[in-house]
Structure 1
Amino acid sequence: MNNNKQKLLLQYLISSGDLYALCTSIIRPEYFAPEYRNAVKFIQDYHEEYNALPTPEQIKAETETSLVKQEIKKDQFEYCATEVEAFCKFQAFRAAIFAAPPLMDEGNYGKAEQLVRDAVTVSLQREIGTVYFDNPQERIKQRLKDKRLIPTGWKELDRVLDGGIGRKELLLFSANSGVGKSITMANLGLNVLLQGYNVLYITLELSEEVVGQRYDLMVSGISKFEHMARLSELVQKIEQTGQHCGELVIKYMPSGSKTTAIKAYLKELQLTREYIPDVIIVDYIDNLDPSEQVPPELIFLHDKLTSEQLRNIGVEYNSAVVTASQQNREAVDAPIIHQGHIAGGISKINSSDNHFTIIQTGPMKAKGSIAFMPLKTRNSLGLSEVLYHNWDRVSLRITDEDKGPDPEKLTFVPRTKPNEPKSKSGLVDTEGGDGLLNLVDDLN
């Protein structure tokens, strides 16, 4: 853009407070020719300080730049806004291109990509937002239509989640080592597959063959020790199931992969398979890195960026995202599991929409039982309620529990409210109870 046009746009901007307010968020002094940069900075500083635009005389006195106010008509308003937007987008992209090579030489590809991404997204915010009292019926109908929850296939979880997991949301499971994070996510994946949804299972730990074998068990119900002897039956059951469900893609990525690798793969999947998965399972988030380089000691920031970027992938692709995280050592013997027991940064929970801890003690596993306890639900109730399910050690399937726990066996029930009084029946024992893990052992 030549200097004369830059000067004209500046004159339009100082002539209309509304026009300036629309454009100011994307304007940077360095975008303009050197002779106008001081004027742009003065205009911005003046507006920030006095909430008004300086006069041409003030601009001349402070920066020696001569500008003349213009009469702004509707067409000139639109012209200026459009031209300023295009100019700032071009300049931002140009600056990103020049800044990227040194970052790439340092191996900071995530920062280089972010600069380009920010430049591409430079635009004016022309939408005013939601005017709450205007046409509430249409607004509510659209909200209900857009929610489109995906049932988990487990009645109790769906009840707590008010119907299921939402697209553009992040569901986080946590558990101690060996308790069943991967098994839980694989079961959830199969549950939604059987409803016709497409699932992408990204494994950052186990091989594709191991994950595939687990699905062989869950789909067929045939023990892995009998797969060779019953190969024809196994194949037949898998093929029959595949005819009546969504598509499952299992993709291995090395531990330490960045969130950008998932985005790149989704684009490849969209090109080759011509769809975007309804549910993206990432096994698991502790093995994933953000696009930016983060010093290892900044665990909170690392996990914050990773979880936010993973959730943003779901937002961008209109998919539900499911992942899991380890719990720390304090959770092993803790009487009650809470959010502070998450390994690494609690920022993972802050960024998630729903968070469940998985409970399966040795006696529970031996007797075929597993439980989930919601620790965070953004849009529903039911916190700290223990949800019991059946677990089959052969097929690895987690299913609804037909019969609830026997009240006579209850020795401890976690509170759902901070100041809930002790139950008259003695079922709530916060003073002398042996804790949640003893409770679930007693129930079995």
Structure 2
Amino acid sequence: MDREPDAIAAVRAKIATSKPKPKVATEKSVAEDVGAMMMGGVGKEEKHPAPVIKPEEKPKELPFDFAEDFQTKIAALMIRDENFMRRVDGMIKPHHFENYNEAMLVGLAQKHFDKYAQLPSGDGSVWTEILKDAINHRIIREEAKRGVIDKWRSIKRESLSNSDFVLDRVADFCKKQEIMKAIHSAIDNAERGDFDAIESNFTKAFNMGVTRSYEELDYWADIDERTERRKDKVSGLIKPTGIPTGNKKIDDLLYHKGVGRKELSVIMGGAKKGKSMGLGHFGMAFSLQGYNVLYATLEVSHAIISDRLDANVTKTSMGDLDENLVSIRDEIRAKRTMAGEFKICEFPSGTLTCKELKRVIERYRGEGIKFDVIIVDYADIMAPDYMTQSEIENSKQIWLGLRAIAQVENCAMLTATQTNRSGFKNTTAKAEDVAEDFNKIRIADLVLSINRTDEERDKGEARLYFAASRNQSGEFSVRIKQTLDKMSFIDGVIDIC
């Protein structure tokens, strides 16, 4: 056998006799330790050049090659935008982030999302508990907690705009990572003659991308996770996902204990039966509980809508608003301190499309506002994205579009629709009494009809009939008390029949 060259032998001897330098505990090593505990690694505070992968080395996942501000935007979207988190599920890891604090927050958000299938709520209370637990269990070390908390506060103010562009850039980065892994593993697989593995790895790499149109679940494999979620739900660890209406008796009748996220709920009634008043009443009830509300009005001006809301909040008759303007102003200011956002956008009748509504939502997201509830007053006078010769097709397009927005935005969508002539005359309007297009009933998740005889109106009463419901039994009525001149759609529940 040929003798090994002296230079190579000398290098081997030096490697064999050299001792590794002791590892010094730094914030970087803390990040790596935390990552191992939580998500398999966390980001580092400094950038590192891409390693040159040699055949004898294992491939390394690179940190993001994005600018610092762009990484912060990615972190903000993962922490606050549930749709974004779902679409990048499994692609982004905490150790991709170069900033320790962002990496830690992303890891905590992913852990919560994996367990509960939703992000921590944006009001801060759930995040407070998550951060407390992470500190108590030394996931976040004492010396790092201030930086993590400060970063969380700053990320709450970060813009969530241009999420689709960010998704595309992230997908390109992850595809690059997978291609590098495939190139490296191809050498060993080729030596073993495992060409199927080579093809599979490259197919996976080139198919890497964000999920755009569907969510996937392995039904049989998911039973343990479903069981854990049900246990947590029974114990109270997981709260109902519905957005409460502000009236517990009505919430208890609803499957989600409120209007459902990712669902389309509808108030149905004849002309002048109080559909807009009902939409405004519920919108204010949501906002006063801290939820963010977008109210798109196509029929009533935003000035009148705001007057109605003033009357509702302060329990003042519409005719007395001008006489009590100072006390009304002060009460509204006081209530504002505990309320969520309530944005009102006015559109001419027949002009608002689902595409335009999505652009409005995106604009507000750029300002850091993500809506829990979107109210459209009302869907029957919207315009389709693409006009056809069929009124039925145009209507179906609008209603499917609204429900799709609710699903993508993980919000509750609330709108109204008219009854037909027979429904207007009937004592109780049922599903078959919907005007023009029965597809509305098929598409909606919950339909409540407003019913009121002249006698009931004189007594300040009405009935909400559960005309259709996707997730619960229906076809029963709830008798309610109303104060119409103060724009109070529900003062209380009289009985259920």
Q: Normalising by structure 1, report the TM-score.
A: 0.62
Deviation digits for residues 363-419 of structure 1 (CA, Å, limit 9, x no counterpart): 3222211220001111122x22111111113311133436449xxxxxxx7xxxxxx
The residue correspondences of 1:143-182 to structure 2 (distance < 5 A) are 145=238, 148-162=241-255, 163-182=257-276
Which residue in 2 is equivalent to 1:183? 277
Task: Provide the aligned C-alpha RMSD in A.
Answer: 2.7
2:349/2:381 contact within 8 Å kept: yes
1:35-434 aligned within 5 A: 72-83=195-206, 85=207, 129-132=218-221, 134-135=223-224, 136-138=226-228, 140=230, 145=238, 148-162=241-255, 163-256=257-350, 257-272=352-367, 274-295=368-389, 298-381=390-473, 383-401=474-492, 403-404=494-495
Letter in 2 for 1:250: I
Residue 190 of structure 2: aligned partner: none
Whether the aligned pair in 1 keeps the contact of 2:479 and 2:494 (CA below 8 Å) is no
8 A Cα contact 1:204 1:252, kept in partner: yes
Identity value in percent: 27
Displacement of 1:127 in angstroms is 5.2
One-letter amino acid matched to 2:205: T
Deviation at 1:165, TM superposition (A): 1.1
One-letter amino acid of the counterpart of residue 218, structure 2: G
C-alpha separation in 2, matches of 1:74 and 1:126: 26
Deviations for 1:135-166, whole angstroms, at most 9, x for unmatched residues? 24235468884851111122343122131111
Residues 194 and 301 of structure 1: CA distance in aligned 2, closer, same or farther (over 3 Å): same
Aligned-residue offset at 1:238: 0.8
Q: CA deviation at 1:247?
A: 1.6
Query: Aligned partners of 1:121, 1:330: CA distance in 2, in Å?
Result: 45
8 Å CA contact 2:287, 2:341 repeated in 1: yes
Equivalents in 2 of 1:334, 1:371: separation in Å?
A: 13
Assess, with a 3 A threshold, how the Cα gap between structure 1 residues 130 and 142 changes in structure 2: closer, same or farther.
Answer: farther
Secondary structure in 2 matching 1:332:
helix
Distance in structure 2 (CA, Å) of the matches to 1:403 and 1:126: 42
Counterpart CA distance in 2 for 1:349 and 1:317 is 22
Aligned-partner SS, 1:212:
helix
Q: SS where residue 308 of structure 1 aligns? A: helix
- 1:168 touches 1:320 (CA, 8 Å); kept in 2? yes
Contact 1:285-1:324 at 8 Å conserved across structures: yes
Distance in 1, matches of 2:495 and 2:217, equals: 50
SS in 2 for 1:229: helix
Q: Does the CA-based 8 Å contact 1:147-1:167 persist in structure 2?
A: no
- Please give the per-residue CA displacement for 1:124-143, whole angstroms capped at 9, x wherever unaligned: x9956332564242354688
Q: Is the 8 A contact 1:172 1:349 kept in 2?
A: no
Q: Distance in 1 between matches of 2:399 and 2:211?
A: 21
Using the alignment, how far apart are the partners of 2:233 and 2:414 within structure 1? 22
Q: Secondary structure at the match of 2:228?
A: helix
CA contact (8 A) 1:156 1:387 kept: no
Q: Secondary structure at the match of 1:379?
A: coil
| Residues 126 and 339 (structure 1), Cα distance of their counterparts in 2 relative to 1, 3 Å cut | closer
1:165 to 1:402, Cα distance in 2 relative to 1, 3 A: closer
Contact in 2 for aligned 1:173/1:323 (Cα 8 Å): yes
Aligned counterpart, 1:418: none
1:318 maps to amino acid: N
Q: Helix, strand or coil for the counterpart of 2:268?
A: strand
Distance in 2 (CA, whole Å) between partners of 1:178 and 1:199 is 24
The one-letter amino acid of 1:356's match is L
| Structure 1 unaligned blocks of 5 or more | 1-69, 90-119, 406-412, 414-444
Are 2:460 and 2:481, in contact at CA under 8 Å, matched by a contact in 1?
A: yes
Segments of 5+ residues of structure 2 without an aligned counterpart are: 1-192
* Partners of 2:480 and 2:494 within 8 A in 1: no
For residues 302 and 423 of structure 2, the distance between their equivalents in structure 1, rounded to whole angstroms, comes to: 30
SS at 1:239 equivalent: helix
2:482–2:492 Cα contact (<8 Å) kept: no
Alpha-carbon distance between aligned partners in 2 of 1:147 and 1:159, rounded to the nearest angstrom: 11
TM-score (norm. length: structure 2): 0.56
The 3 A distance-change label for structure 1 pair 376 and 248 is same
User: Which stretch of structure 1 is more off in the superposition, 159-168 or 281-290?
Assistant: 159-168
Residues 169 and 352 of structure 1 are in contact (CA less than 8 Å); yes or no, is this contact kept in structure 2? yes
Partner amino acid, structure 2, of 1:151: P
Contact 1:199 1:281 in 2 (8 A): yes
**One-letter code aligned to 1:157:** I
SS in 2 for 1:322: strand
The size of the alignment, in residue pairs, is 299
